[in-house]
Amino acid sequence: MVFQDPASSLDGRQHIIDAIGEPLRVHGLATRSDVRAKVGKLLDEVGLPQSALDRYPHEFSGGQRQRIGIARALALGPDLIFADEPVSALDVSVQAQILKLLETLRRERNLAFVFISHDLGVVRYFCQRVVVMYLGRVVESGPVPEIFVDPLHPYTKLLKVSSPEPDPARAVAMSFQEGEPPSPVSPPTGCHFHPRCPLADQHCRSVRPELREVAPGRAVACHKVA
């Protein structure tokens, strides 16, 4: 697991060698005599110097702390890593560095990622497939290029038009209801998105749409999609 906030996900009282080395010792993958060398190798893989071993988390920048978090996630040699908003707390320039690092690790270690993000630009850059969720339900899934070029579910379309446009001359027309999403504790009946959807009718308000395949590799949960 790679967490969203690299500061709070690390124990401020632990040296970096202990933060990364603890799972190695707990799972019997390193002894006290060789843990330093193994942790040092992990730090080198994420672009940090050996001098980081004996320092504390507060002595590093946000991007460096996230590299430490990535090294900790790699420690046990996983096949799958869950990355929960791993770059949202970082500056844009640092985001690019971390994404390139994750891409390199994915290729060299043959890793799979479940990458959770609200940043569509990051999703488009890093991911091959995307699952769009609204109030805890999957509303659409498919390959990234197809979802971004031709979104099918009204919520996916809302996400797309809500993304900032670099051209100020291009006006964004939104036909969706404004306001905050309903509470996930007490969601609407039927389709959860119906209070904000311009296409909603009584059927949408009363009957929950099932996630169904509408094309090879693409699925959508919407009554209005043929």
Q: Is the pLDDT of residue 157 over 70?
A: yes
Residue range 204-223, pLDDT digits in tens? 999 999 999 999 999 999 99
Structure confidence at residue 178 (pLDDT)? 62
Contact of 89 with 55, CB cutoff 8 Å: no
Contact assessment for residue 158 and residue 176, using Cβ atoms and an 8 Å cutoff: yes
Q: Is 214 helix (H, G, I), strand (E, B) or coil?
A: strand
Return the structure tokens found at 56. 């504390």
pLDDT tens track for 51-95:
999 999 999 999 999 999 999 999 999 999 999 999 998 998 899
Q: What is the pLDDT of residue 166?
A: 66
Cβ 213 vs Cβ 219: under 8 Å: yes
DSSP states of 136-153: TEEEEEEEHHHHHHS--S
Percent of the chain with pLDDT over 90: 81
pTM beyond 0.85: the answer is: yes
